Amino acid sequence: MDEDTATEMTVTLETICAIARGAHDLMGKSAASTDDPDEDDPETDVLEDRGHDAIEAELRHLIDDLDHDAQIDLVTVMWLGRDETEDWDSLRAIAVDEHTDFTSEYLLGTPRLADYLLAGLDRLGLSCDGAGWENP
């Protein structure tokens, strides 16, 4: 990837990093505890929210408030991190064709969203440390 692709994105690095951090926090849901530590019942092995509803609501709001192009770029960054065989232009064209009003639901329903966003940034030569890229 070249620096021009990164500077042409309509979603800011800070926004992508905020979403990645929040998605990482959501991945931290832990198994529900039971009163009997010896009990091994798969039906009771569920995830506890532990306050994650607020994080999910904040992420949903952040994504939903992005304009159409920024949502497309965000999805493209995620896809770029998930699929090492495709390039930015190809993935973005697909994201344009498949864009819906349900971007936040799609992204927040993606396992490993945080990992994919960070890997996508890495493929663009960017990181959440800000190395190699300045926000316009």
Q: 62-102: per-residue pLDDT in tens?
A: 999 999 999 999 999 999 999 878 899 999 999 999 999 99
Residue 123 identity (one-letter amino acid): R
Interatomic CA distance for residues 39 and 27, integer angstroms: 24
pLDDT of residue 10: 95
Domain range list for the chain: 3-29+54-123
**Mean of all residue pLDDT scores within the chain:** 81
Residues 104-117 have a mean pLDDT of 96
Alpha-helix residue ranges (DSSP H) falling in 1-136: 3-8, 13-27, 52-64, 68-82, 88-98, 103-108, 113-123
pLDDT of residue 101: 93
**Is residue 89 classed as helix, strand or coil in its secondary structure?**
helix
Please report which confidence band the pLDDT of residue 27 belongs to, taking 50, 70 and 90 as the band edges: confident
Instruction: Report percent pLDDT > 90 for the chain.
Output: 61
pLDDT at 43 over 70: no
